[in-house]
Structure 1
Amino acid sequence: MTKRKNVSLRVPLEQVDRVKELLESEGLREREVKNTLWSYEGEGVYLNMYPSGTLLIQGKGAEAWADRILERIEAPEGPLAGCDEVGKGDLFGPLVLCCAVVNPENFKKVLSLSPKDSKSMKDDELLKRAEKLKKYVNRRCIVLMPERFNELYREYGNINRLMDDAYRKLVQSIVRDFRPVRVVIDRYSFRNPFQDMGVVDFLEKGERDVVVSVASMLARAKFLEKLRELEDNYGLKLPKGASSEAKRLAQKLKREDPELANTLIKSSFNGG
């Protein structure tokens, strides 16, 4: 029995209706599927559109349908940028902030790689897909390893103010070098520190933006790379996140080797 082909791609949320119109014009039938925006079926093919912007195509001619849908999607008139951070909720390892820039000629290739919020992906899958995305994306990242992060955290006294300045530096860099027509930053605080930067949109649930999802994946890949370096350098297995396991190890290190703890643990976790 032949395995049914699955293809996924990312559809910008503002263009979801264009895709739906295409499917209806081709005579596909709408059907009810839980947790989707909509779902259609045709001759041996099923298409499910999810709120995240991911379109899953299953069955006969899935790749051909993906190509037709990408043809229908409009590329932007200029470069688009998105920014996100990873590591803010992790006891161990760096804080990584990344901005990604996608040029119009690469926009559909990026969509075909189906970028999504890194929190919804397994590490192995993310690393493979992030490597492919790098071919089509310009990027700038700031990596604050724990020791440097802790210095800055003492200076700023607030992680969001620290991130404000880091993001401003990143945005200034990408605007100078790539001239994006829009920069979306995934909102991390109630206060908007970018109101004086006209090109920046500071958006709640910014990961719903395609390029923010790309930035999220690239930031996560860099975080995992740097966490692995710390593990290799110090011969320790460092848990991700802020689980009870992570907290126990952090407490042990702070008791037994405060200097090493400062190299591995972000001090924003006072209870760690």
Structure 2
Amino acid sequence: MTQTQVIKVSKDLLNKMDETYKKQQLNKKPPYTVFTAKVNGVTVTAYTSGKVMFQGPAAATEAARWGTALSAKKKPAASAVLPPGFDRLSVIGSDEVGNGSYFGPVTVCAAYVAADMITKLKALGVRDSKELTDDQIVKLSHSIKELIPYRLLVLEPKKYNAIQPKYNAVHMKVALHNQAIFLLLNDLAPVKPEGILIDQFTPEANYRKYVRSEKNQVAEKLHFITKGEQYHVAVAAASIICRAAFLEELDEESAELGFNVPSGAGAKSDQTAAKVLKQGGIELLSQYAKLHFANTEKAKKIAGYSN
């Protein structure tokens, strides 16, 4: 009988698992994963969040080598946090991608899905972007953008580095979400959404604290919930659009530099950043990477860069 076990591990233990399973790792690497390996009939999928999923007849045994399985958590009832029937309303959904990746931009998208478009988008295959391959995401993104109104903001690394000392990561995301929603509301006027759902990345009080410092504040009809794509297809659509934009930007960076630029912030990013430093110093690296990440100092040591 196939079993599924999920554990949560530290970054150090995740790195150790990566090394241990190196020879058993598969070539495919879905989004948000560190590695996928096949071990004694068990598929091991390690996610950047620190969660590791074991699937197979001996999943429990293999998982026990590394930690204790997490107890299953029930999805909170939507009625507890959202108005009744929220998933059938005309809603703006908002999500972001790239904040945890050393290379590439931060992309934020606000997407409006009218009630009469919900079924069509679901039939198209619009769902949680983590369940889709990169190719599926890019293809779906093009289809979605032809069907619904949206606003996409792309914060390139160079601009990110310029404003990062003033804006911490959370404040930056609040500003981007707020601006994307504000612009989309202007596009839609006089049509008004019945709700605005933000895939939650910080407590609501914190979001509202930061948004008060923004010029164009959107404060009404806001709802916040983690895994927002499970509660309205608008968030799933926004997630796919901004994920596709992030992937396309990474492809452009790779083409400009002449070698593959990885997502995430692991050892591959350190090695790639070292190559960029050797090629054009910190000035060149600042055009492609978020310099305040710890990867920068690691890359300097690898490259022997002292400036």
The TM-score, its normalising length taken from structure 2, stands at: 0.60
Residue deviations 1:104-146 (CA, integer Å, cap 9, x gap): 2322111111212222321111112222222221110110110
Q: What residue is the counterpart of 1:164 in the other structure? A: 174
Is the deviation greater in 195-204 or in 233-242?
195-204
Residue deviations 1:42-75 (CA, integer Å, cap 9, x gap): xxxxxxxxx99xxxxxxxxxxxxxxxxxxxx998
Residue 189 of structure 1 pairs with residue 202 of structure 2: yes
What amino acid is the match of 1:199?
K
What amino acid is the match of 1:222?
A
What amino acid is the match of 1:162?
M
Structure 2: 5+ residue stretches without partners: 1-54, 56-73, 76-84, 210-217, 297-307
Residue 227 of structure 1 pairs with residue 250 of structure 2: yes
Distance in 2, matches of 1:155 and 1:105, equals: 42
Distance in 2, matches of 1:258 and 1:268, equals: 12
Is the deviation greater in 183-192 or in 143-152?
183-192
What amino acid is the match of 1:231?
S
Q: Does the C-alpha gap of structure 1 residues 183 and 85 become closer, same or farther in structure 2, counting only changes over 3 Å?
A: same
In the alignment, which of 278, 288, 291 is matched to residue 264 of structure 1? 288
- Given that 2:269 and 2:295 are in contact with CA atoms closer than 8 Å, whether structure 1 keeps it comes out as no
- Given that 1:96 and 1:142 are in contact with CA atoms closer than 8 Å, whether structure 2 keeps it comes out as yes
- Given that 1:186 and 1:203 are in contact with CA atoms closer than 8 Å, whether structure 2 keeps it comes out as yes
Structure 1: 5+ residue stretches without partners: 1-33, 35-50, 53-72
Q: What residue is the counterpart of 1:153 in the other structure? A: 164
- Given that 1:75 and 1:108 are in contact with CA atoms closer than 8 Å, whether structure 2 keeps it comes out as no
Distance in 2, matches of 1:215 and 1:268, equals: 27
C-alpha deviation, 1:162, in angstroms? 1.1
Q: What residue is the counterpart of 2:273 in the other structure? A: 250
RCO higher in structure (CA 8 A, sep ≥6)? 1
Q: Does the C-alpha gap of structure 1 residues 244 and 183 become closer, same or farther in structure 2, counting only changes over 3 Å?
A: same
Alignment of 1:11-30 (within 5 A): none
- Given that 2:102 and 2:295 are in contact with CA atoms closer than 8 Å, whether structure 1 keeps it comes out as no
Distance in 2, matches of 1:227 and 1:132, equals: 21
In the alignment, which of 89, 96, 102 is matched to residue 85 of structure 1? 96
Specify the SS of the correspondent of 1:89: coil
C-alpha deviation, 1:251, in angstroms? 3.9
Distance in 2, matches of 1:126 and 1:137, equals: 16
Distance in 2, matches of 1:74 and 1:222, equals: 28
Q: What residue is the counterpart of 1:25 in the other structure? A: none
C-alpha deviation, 1:255, in angstroms? 6.0
Distance in 1, matches of 2:277 and 2:171, equals: 26
- Given that 2:95 and 2:199 are in contact with CA atoms closer than 8 Å, whether structure 1 keeps it comes out as yes
Distance in 1, matches of 2:295 and 2:135, equals: 30
The TM-score, its normalising length taken from structure 1, stands at: 0.67
Specify the SS of the correspondent of 2:239: helix
Specify the SS of the correspondent of 1:238: coil
Residue 112 of structure 1 pairs with residue 123 of structure 2: yes
- Given that 2:157 and 2:290 are in contact with CA atoms closer than 8 Å, whether structure 1 keeps it comes out as yes
Specify the SS of the correspondent of 1:264: coil
Cα RMSD for the two superposed structures: 2.5
- Given that 1:102 and 1:136 are in contact with CA atoms closer than 8 Å, whether structure 2 keeps it comes out as no
Specify the SS of the correspondent of 1:241: coil
Residue 218 of structure 1 pairs with residue 257 of structure 2: no
C-alpha deviation, 1:92, in angstroms? 0.7
Specify the SS of the correspondent of 2:125: coil
